[in-house]
Amino acid sequence: MKFSYNWLKELTGISDSPQGLGEFLTARVFEVEGITQHGNDWILEVKILPNRMADASGHEGLMREIAWLKGASMRKREWKIKNQGNTKTEDILEVAVENPDDCPRYSARIITGVKITSSPAWLRERLETCGLQSINNIVDAANYMMLETGQPLHVFDYDKLKAGYSNYKTISVRRARKGEQIMALDDKIYALSPDILVIADEKEPCAIAGIKGGKDSGVTGDTRTIIIESANFAPILIRRARQILNLVTDASVRFEHGLDPNQTIHALNRVALLIQEGAGGTIYKGIVDAYAKPSLSRTIPFRISLANQLIGKTQTRAFYKNAFVRMGSRVKMRAPDILSITPPLYRLDLEIEEDLIEEAARLVGYDSILPKTPAFTLAGAEENEELIWTERARNFLAHAGFHESMFYAFTSEKELTTYGLDTYTAPPLLNPAHTAATHLIPRPLIKYISSLTENLRHTEEIKLFGIAKRFVLTENKKIEEHQDLILTIGTRGKSGINNFYILKGIIDELCESFGITDYWHDDAGVATKKEMWIFHPYRLAELKMGDQRLGRLGEIHPDIAARIKTRGLIVAAEIDWDILTRVAKEEFAYRPPDKYPSLLRDLAVIVPDTIRVSDVEKIITAAAGPLLADLDLFDYFQDDPLRQGEKKNLAFHLVLHADDRTLRDEEADLRMQEIRRALTDQGWECV
């Protein structure tokens, strides 16, 4: 931001040269990126940090910071409005704020009988030094006051606002309605949407709130009565509107970083006097002030011992007390070592004890703090078991053809509703940056499904995995944080009908590589569980270890697939990574190689769709007896999984083996006959 050296000097009477002031600011406050001469003045390009925009984006705020650090005093200036007419502002103007969260405060004054002319030379010079063009004495006064106080202001022509009846006008602060548009002061027409906050009269929008005014309500040479707006808007709305409209202004830069709503009256009174001084007119009595939820001061405990420890230099209690009193804080003694500090409301960045300690360190001066060697012994890093298992899973899944993906841990009510998830379990963000990121995500699986849906437009098949955090809001309003291993396979069309079993097999191999063998798949009654509603009711299962659930897998529910307009079949698994790594075993039991060869046999069986694969495997295992060394499902076929009564064809690999002899074909064939007999006794067909 551009600051005038002469202006800053005028506010406090500093004696530093422009270069000296620039060096001081860079060392103690904000980086000065450049200093250039402009006539008899100097322009300082100062990089104001985002969290200091509320108090330091104007000359007054920056000079207040300089004076505090230098131990100097700001020149006191009092503005008392005189020559007020008999008419009260509230008698001819009403302000209606639709949602106080969108507009925490809206203050307005009216001046009548103004005369529109060019601004005096000194005012034009100040604006040009700071990069603004002179328009007229009214608009220039508003811009000047923004540069001085950091509070953006806007001026409307009172007579141009449309009203229900002639002697009373209403200003509404509301969301734009679908289809509305506005011609702004830059002569461009902007299409508006409900994501954009506007200032409107009783007919149409008159300004894009916090960004730009409308041409139809702007000040012209014929203007005689004006409304001065000094307001505070929700930063997220201004940022969103700026992005949607691709429109950046000096006002929007300040509003989207957050301003103090308590500064609106200060700037409003100051600009009213400045306008009256340069354009004449009568200031109506009083202010219309919509301030539904006044911001409250916050008190922060400050431990002197901790401050001295972190700063590395011992200071007295009197030093800290004096420092924060000069800042404008209220300071009380809580204990010999503890102060209670209430920062000024305009210091929105001071929220915790460490913020106050940092301010004290800046006052001490970083350059005056002697470096010290840390008073502790450096030890070697301990082995991170979680990282070891993470790398093992990544390598395994990469070799299995999966691509690792990472997503932001944010979601929205709309996205949660799309996937049939409850919004009350998702922790809401206090200051969301976007409407698509209003909550922490309770099921990161949905991000992977959305990504697969998007990618299936461009490829036939894709496999994604990731280890992602999930956040759950408990009944006592605490946030629980866990990690999930997400596995997903997406195939365009219906060619991925067997992906459920492919994914199941990959999970089996992953668990075995983690030394986990006593797990099993349970599909009994899981379709009725609420957390399983995201999956297909006939193609889902839970992964369990004893009675403990490790995770779940299944094909995405057809209703959700239709809702997100996916072009293929998606199967997914979410495994509790915290539990998986806790039960994983680094050591494996040694088993000597078999002395005798094994025999392989294949078996296909047709069963009703209500029969679980695990039920078929139990019967095969019981009939095969001790000769069955391994059993794997390698094929699954069903014409229409959603049609009730549809039969399915299951194909298995059987490995038959004897530990004490070479198994003969005749013996293996006899055992296969017993297996087929056991299956047909169930009314199933062997092929």
What is the amino acid identity at position 238?
I
Identify whether 470 is part of a domain. yes
Q: In this predicted model, what pLDDT tens digit does every residue of 460-501 receive, in sequence order?
A: 999 999 999 999 988 888 999 999 999 999 998 777 778 888
Query: Tokens standing for 329?
Result: 């804080």
Residue from 180, 232, 168 nearest 206 by CA: 180
Residue 431 has pLDDT above 70, yes or no: yes
CATH code for the domain of 650: 3.30.70.380
* pLDDT (0 to 100) of residue 529: 65
In this structure, are 310 and 337 located in the same domain?
yes
In this structure, are 455 and 422 located in the same domain?
yes
**Residue-averaged pLDDT of the chain:** 90
In this structure, are 325 and 435 located in the same domain?
no
Identify whether 588 is part of a domain. no
Mean pLDDT of 108-117: 96
Mean pLDDT of 267-282: 94
State which residues form the domain around 648.
Answer: 599-686
Residue 456 has pLDDT above 70, yes or no: yes
Last-in-domain residue among 315, 334, 365? 365
Q: In this predicted model, what pLDDT tens digit does every residue of 233-271 receive, in sequence order?
A: 999 999 999 999 999 999 999 999 999 999 999 999 999
Tally the domains of the chain: 5
| 585 or 17, greater pLDDT | 17
In this structure, are 139 and 233 located in the same domain?
yes
Tell me the torsion sign for CA atoms 379, 385, 388, 394: negative
In this structure, are 102 and 246 located in the same domain?
yes
Identify whether 453 is part of a domain. yes
User: Are 234 and 104 a contacting pair, CB within 8 Å?
Assistant: yes
CATH code for the domain of 335: 3.30.56.10
Whole-model pTM? 0.66
* pLDDT (0 to 100) of residue 179: 93
Identify whether 334 is part of a domain. yes
CA distance 334 to 341: 10
In this structure, are 566 and 634 located in the same domain?
no
Residue 376 has pLDDT above 50, yes or no: yes
In this structure, are 347 and 476 located in the same domain?
no
Q: In this predicted model, what pLDDT tens digit does every residue of 166-201 receive, in sequence order?
A: 668 999 999 999 999 999 999 999 999 999 999 999
Last-in-domain residue among 251, 268, 290? 290
In this structure, are 356 and 267 located in the same domain?
no
Binned at pLDDT 50, 70 and 90, residue 642 comes out as very low
In this structure, are 579 and 669 located in the same domain?
no
User: Are 227 and 206 a contacting pair, CB within 8 Å?
Assistant: no
In this structure, are 212 and 344 located in the same domain?
no
Query: Tokens standing for 338?
Result: 């503890």
In this structure, are 510 and 466 located in the same domain?
yes
In this structure, are 65 and 38 located in the same domain?
yes
Identify whether 358 is part of a domain. yes
Task: Report the alpha-carbon angle 55-57-59, nearest 5.
Answer: 95
Identify whether 63 is part of a domain. yes
Mean pLDDT of 431-446: 90
Residue from 290, 322, 286, 289 nearest 304 by CA: 322
CATH code for the domain of 465: 3.30.930.10
Binned at pLDDT 50, 70 and 90, residue 676 comes out as very high
Q: Could you say which DSSP state residue 427 is in?
A: P
Of the chain, the end-to-end C-alpha distance in Å amounts to: 80
Identify whether 184 is part of a domain. yes
Identify whether 475 is part of a domain. yes
CATH code for the domain of 234: 3.50.40.10
Binned at pLDDT 50, 70 and 90, residue 85 comes out as confident
CA distance 166 to 676: 94
Task: Report the alpha-carbon angle 242-223-255, nearest 5.
Answer: 20
Lowest mean pLDDT among 17-26, 237-246, 439-448, 635-644: 635-644
Lowest mean pLDDT among 1-5, 116-120, 371-375: 371-375
